[in-house]
C-alpha cells in the first residue's frame, strides 16, 4: 500500500482504530514529556497527542497548561527558564519518530497571554513544513485523500527522525487558518468542544480544508462519522477511556481515538499485544 507521509490516515473497513496516547497517556511519567511519549509507544500506541505553546523568546514547547507550577506563565518565560522536563516541540517529535502525532496548538482567547496574531500557529506551521521531506507532503487543503492505514512502522522511505503521520489540531478555526496561511498543505484537525454542535463544526472543518474532525466522545454517532467520511474528513475522537465508549466509537466507524489508557484501549479494541 502506498503511504503518504503526514497524510492523516483513514481507517479501512475491518481495520483497527488508530490509538493515540493523550499527552502520552497515564503511566509512571509526567504527561507531555519525552518519557511519556516513549512509554506510550512501548505500550503499543500508534502515536501520541501532545500540546504546544510558545515561550516569550519564541521557542515552541510541549505543555498543556498556560502556567508551569513554581515557574509562572509560559508566555512570560524563555525556554531556558523552564524546567528540563518540558521538551521543545522538535525534541518531542523526534521521540515520536515513525509514529502518528497529533499536535494541538494552545492559544485560547480566554487564557492569559492569548496572542490574537497567532504567532504560535505560524511558528508551528513553519517548523513542520521545514521538516516535511520534499515530495512527501500531503494533498492540498480541501482534498480528499484516499484511505490509508497507520502502519506498524514508518514506510521505508520516511526519514528516521520524523513522525510517519501528523496532524495539527486546535479548537479555534482562526488558529488553523493561520497554520494554513504559512503551510497550505498542512494536515489540519478541528477540535469540537462538547458544548458546540458537531454538525456545524463539520461544515467549518470542511471549509478550512481539514483532514479530520475531532469531536468529543459524547458527540460521536455513526451518522456524524458517515457524513464526515463522505466529505473526505477523518474522525478522531477524544478523550475515550472506558471500554464501552471505546467499543461504541469503533462501531460508529471513527478512524482514531485519543485515550489516557493505552493498554485498556488496545484491549477494548481487540488489539492486545
pLDDT reported for residue 133 = 62
How far, CA to CA in Å, does 199 sit from each of 101, 177, 219, 228?
25, 19, 9, 9
The pLDDT tens digits of the residues spanning 28-83 come to 999 999 999 999 999 999 999 999 999 999 999 999 999 999 999 999 999 999 99
Provide the strand spans (E) within 64-204.
67-68, 72-73, 100-105, 165-170, 188-192
Q: How would you classify the pairing of strands 188-192 and 165-170?
A: parallel
Sign (positive or negative) of CA dihedral 142, 255, 196, 118? negative
pLDDT reported for residue 134 = 56
> What cell does 89 get?
516541540
Residue ranges of the domains in the chain? Answer: 18-268
Instruction: Tell me which residues of the chain have a pLDDT lower than 70.
Output: 1-7, 133-160, 273
pLDDT reported for residue 70 = 94
* R_g (Cα) of the chain, nearest Å: 17
pLDDT reported for residue 5 = 52
Residue 222 three-state SS: helix
- Bridge partners of 189, per DSSP, are 169, 212
How far is 87 from 109, CA to CA, in rounded Å?
A: 24
18-268 CATH: 3.20.20.190
The pLDDT tens digits of the residues spanning 132-153 come to 765 444 444 344 343 444 443 3
How far is 170 from 247, CA to CA, in rounded Å?
A: 26
**Taking a C-beta distance cutoff of 8 angstroms, is the pair 213, 228 a contact?**
yes
- Bridge partners of 102, per DSSP, are 49, 167
- What is the DSSP annotation of 241-271? -SHHHHHHHHHHT-SEEEES-HHHHHHHTT-
pLDDT reported for residue 185 = 87
The alpha-helical segments, DSSP class H, found in 7-155 are 34-43, 89-95, 119-131
Amino acid at each position: 500500500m502506498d503511504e503518504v507521509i503526514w497524510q492523516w490516515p483513514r481507517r479501512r473497513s475491518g481495520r483497527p482504530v488508530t490509538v493515540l496516547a493523550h499527552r502520552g497517556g497515564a503511566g509512571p511519567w509526567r504527561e507531555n514529556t519525552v518519557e511519556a511519549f516513549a512509554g506510550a509507544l512501548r505500550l503499543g500506541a500508534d502515536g501520541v497527542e501532545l500540546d504546544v505553546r510558545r515561550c516569550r523568546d519564541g521557542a515552541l514547547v510541549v505543555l498543556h497548561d498556560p502556567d508551569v507550577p513554581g515557574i509562572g506563565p509560559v508566555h512570560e518565560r524563555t525556554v531556558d527558564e523552564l524546567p528540563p522536563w518540558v521538551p521543545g516541540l522538535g525534541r518531542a517529535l523526534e521521540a515520536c519518530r515513525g509514529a502518528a502525532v497529533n499536535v494541538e496548538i494552545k492559544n485560547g482567547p480566554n487564557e492569559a497571554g492569548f496572542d490574537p496574531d497567532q504567532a504560535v500557529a505560524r511558528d508551528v506551521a513553519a517548523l513542520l513544513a521545514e521538516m516535511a521531506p520534499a515530495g512527501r507532503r500531503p494533498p492540498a487543503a480541501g482534498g480528499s485523500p484516499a484511505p490509508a492505514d497507520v502502519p506498524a512502522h514508518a514506510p521505508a522511505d520516511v526519514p528516521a527522525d520524523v513522525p510517519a503521520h501528523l496532524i495539527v489540531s486546535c479548537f479555534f478555526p482562526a488558529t488553523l487558518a493561520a497554520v494554513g496561511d504559512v503551510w497550505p498543505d498542512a494536515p489540519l484537525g478541528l477540535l469540537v468542544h462538547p458544548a458546540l454542535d458537531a454538525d456545524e463544526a463539520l461544515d467549518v472543518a470542511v471549509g478550512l480544508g481539514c483532514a479530520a474532525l475531532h469531536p468529543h466522545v459524547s458527540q460521536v454517532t455513526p451518522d456524524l462519522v458517515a457524513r464526515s467520511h463522505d466529505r473526505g474528513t477523518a474522525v478522531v475522537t477524544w478523550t475515550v477511556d472506558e471500554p464501552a465508549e471505546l467499543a461504541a466509537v469503533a462501531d460508529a466507524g471513527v478512524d482514531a481515538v485519543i485515550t489516557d489508557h493505552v493498554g485498556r484501549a488496545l484491549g477494548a479494541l481487540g488489539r492486545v499485544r
